Amino acid sequence: PPTRCTDFDMAYFQSYSHVGIHEEMIKDRIRTETYRAAITQYQSSIAGKVVVDVGCGTGILSIFCALAGAKRVYAVDASEIAIQANEVVKANNLSDKVIVLHGRVEDVEIEEEVDVIISEWMGYMLLYESMLGSVVVARDRWLKPGGLILPSHASLYMAPITHTERYSESIDFWRNVYGIDMSAMLPLAKQCAFEEPSVETITGENVLTWPIVVKHVDCYTITTQELESVTARYKFTSMMRAPLHGFAFWFDVEFSGPAILPTNSHTQSLRSSITASDTNSLGSSQSKKRVKSDEVLILSTAPEEPPTHWQQTLLYFYDPIEVNQDQVIEGSVTLSQSKENARFLNIHLEYASAGRSFVKESVMR
Amino acid sequence: PPTRCTDFDMAYFQSYSHVGIHEEMIKDRIRTETYRAAITQYQSSIAGKVVVDVGCGTGILSIFCALAGAKRVYAVDASEIAIQANEVVKANNLSDKVIVLHGRVEDVEIEEEVDVIISEWMGYMLLYESMLGSVVVARDRWLKPGGLILPSHASLYMAPITHTERYSESIDFWRNVYGIDMSAMLPLAKQCAFEEPSVETITGENVLTWPIVVKHVDCYTITTQELESVTARYKFTSMMRAPLHGFAFWFDVEFSGPAILPTNSHTQSLRSSITASDTNSLGSSQSKKRVKSDEVLILSTAPEEPPTHWQQTLLYFYDPIEVNQDQVIEGSVTLSQSKENARFLNIHLEYASAGRSFVKESVMR
């Protein structure tokens, strides 16, 4: 039975009815160009095939797929923006190819199996918004065995960071305000600035050491249950002496074929035929990409990469902790869908280093 | 009887309990330095006197007044931030001078008359937030005849503007999105971008001609009834041929003594004594300042001045109108407190030029 559409879901869909949010996403060239490149790379898997675009928004990815030769694209969105997507499709004379369905993937009906699922489902910290669940529902309802999911994999990373500038700006600022000592503001200033995760752009210089992978998602196999709660233990060794201000989270997604070839022989032959017909496309075959990983298209939101509208998500401590070079920073982090509103993300961070330990709970709303 | 404290008022006060909003205001150096300069200019009217700071926030203006020699400063704020203000005052050993009152000016008790009211009450478009009403209440409850109000006067300006860049960015953008004609988005894009007033920074180059004064406020005499609805007729003559995109609103406030000397002889002598004792202060006397207007301190948020956190408020048309040089642009604008929530501002704009006319209704929430 489909999950219930809550008032929170309605508010969530409503938030996507405003044009500004789509403008911001489309204007993120890293995001949109990478999706377009992926469609080009997989053109031979899309041409003549049936595609579903989960959360189509204004319909731009659906139209890219139609222009890449898709036989039919089901553009699904539960937000009112679907009405606009339909207008755009009509104005581009693509109504015979792109079928806009205004509703949840749980509720709309598609009367055939699909070859490809495309979706831009990633939220801040990858998992915020919990939209990946909709991709899983679409996959389980409609994707042919051996079908393609774009993107196919996602990884959430975490690293300790130092960011004295940011800390000074919001916190130390109060120590001398036009000559007045307003340090009495510090406790509330820290709470207001750092209680919740903060979406902001940092650079590689803020990062104290190599990141760990908090969660690796294989879109071909992930289940919605797995997404309800994700826990990772971390153990970092600081590469420098610096004040540790907290942790940064970012993600990347990868556009690859199914990692595990299905044992079913029907789908195996389907996979082979995709690979075989792929030679004249720009992007070369999937199996090749699985081997030569430098040819796999990756959309990265890492601090050392050009900034995207996702930026990075920062979890600040209320007070910085001085760490030495080679000092070990360890603990665990749990990201779970809020029980109250599955679109919210509860973050439980445990930290221990040099005899200090604490727990920080926060919610991304 | 004091006006009722509504749920909307509670939400309004709540919005000022977050530190970030105070950080932004304090970091606006144009704002904070001008207030500090005004306190210095009027030091002789403040030293040894009783001051009330309406909406004191973190208490910075109250502390400036205490440091300028005020005998007593009542720092009033209905937001929880008053608790912080009290902590700051204590930490600065000013508890004997600065008395923080956590409540509305309608509800708190001050057992003496005050010599000076200081308040930073200005909202976007001057009148948004309707906080000037609180200054009027404080004045009518506590200010001595002939007392000083800082700032003393405020003017709201309006001018026609051209802003092709901004229009293109949000609207024309949809005409060609990665090669796809998404013009079908235009009606909703216009609505989303331009239905509500937009707070943004423009420059003098965006302004088509000299502004008109929509409303001039004398804080010594204004009544709350007068603030419920403000109407101005406008008639501009464009100084150039350009697409007219809408109107910009901005304000300035002036730090002067009462413009109309009271007829009451007691207060007249009081005024004279203030003027007489003013000669050794940095800022010279008030009567002098009324004459030499270039010595009056003004806090301006005009497009040609350095930007402040108020920026300017733009009211865009859904479609630009080509105007010729010397073309007349006329109509009227009415700003009124929303009946539903007096903190909101209803804006009724009537426009007529070259045979075209229309009405635009919007709400600043």
- Interface A-B, measured as beta-carbon pairs within 8 A, has a size of 84
State how far the Cα of A59 lies from the Cα of A35, in Å rounded to an integer. 13
Report whether A245 contacts A161 (CB < 8 A): yes
Pick out chain A residues at pLDDT < 50.
260, 262-292
Among B1-5, B16-20, B135-139, the least confident range? B1-5
> Nearest-CA distance from B297 to chain A in Å?
19
Q: What is the DSSP string of B259-298?
A: SSPPS-HHHHHHHHHHHHTTTTSTT--HHHHHHSGGGSEE
Can you read off the two tokens belonging to residue B126? 């001057």
- A19 to each of A15, A16, A145, A299, B48, how far by Cα in Å? 10, 8, 36, 24, 56
What's the whole-number average pLDDT of chain B? 91
User: In chain B, whose CA is at the least distance from the CA of A87?
Assistant: B184
What residues in A contact B100, CB-CB < 8 Å? none
Across the interface, whether the CB atoms of B23 and A173 are under 8 A apart is answered yes
Across the interface, whether the CB atoms of A58 and B27 are under 8 A apart is answered no
In this prediction, residue A294 carries a pLDDT of 62
In this prediction, residue B354 carries a pLDDT of 80
Across the interface, whether the CB atoms of A18 and B192 are under 8 A apart is answered yes
Percent of the residues in chain B that have a pLDDT greater than 70, as a whole number: 90
State how far the Cα of A46 lies from the Cα of A347, in Å rounded to an integer. 38
Q: Is B193 exposed, middle or buried (0-12, 13-18, 19+ CB in 10 A)?
A: buried
In this prediction, residue A327 carries a pLDDT of 95
In this prediction, residue A295 carries a pLDDT of 83
In tens, the pLDDT along B13-23 reads 999 999 999 99
State how far the Cα of A114 lies from the Cα of A107, in Å rounded to an integer. 16
In tens, the pLDDT along B230-289 reads 999 999 999 999 999 999 999 999 999 865 454 444 443 333 333 333 333 333 333 333
The DSSP symbol for A126 reads B
In this prediction, residue A266 carries a pLDDT of 42
| Candidates A33, A92, A173; nearest CB to B181 | A92
Across the interface, whether the CB atoms of B92 and A20 are under 8 A apart is answered no
In this prediction, residue B259 carries a pLDDT of 54
> Nearest-CA distance from B2 to chain A in Å?
31
- The shares of helix, strand and coil residues in chain A, as percent rounded to the nearest 5, are 30, 35, 35
Can you read off the two tokens belonging to residue A190? 């820290």
In this prediction, residue B293 carries a pLDDT of 55
In this prediction, residue B66 carries a pLDDT of 98
Task: Name which of B178, B195, B318 to mutate to probe chain A: the one with the most chain A Cβ atoms within 10 A of its Cβ.
Answer: B178
Report whether A105 contacts A76 (CB < 8 A): yes
User: In chain B, whose CA is at the least distance from the CA of A182?
Assistant: B88
**pLDDT of residue B142 exceeding 90:** yes
Across the interface, whether the CB atoms of B84 and A188 are under 8 A apart is answered yes
User: Which of the following is catalytic: A87, A109, A129, A226?
Assistant: A129
Can you read off the two tokens belonging to residue A223? 């289940």
User: In chain B, whose CA is at the least distance from the CA of A22?
Assistant: B189
In this prediction, residue B116 carries a pLDDT of 98
The predicted model gives B80-98 an average pLDDT of 98
pTM (two decimals):
0.89
Strands B50-54 and B72-77: parallel
Between B345 and A284, the more confident residue is: B345
In this prediction, residue A293 carries a pLDDT of 55
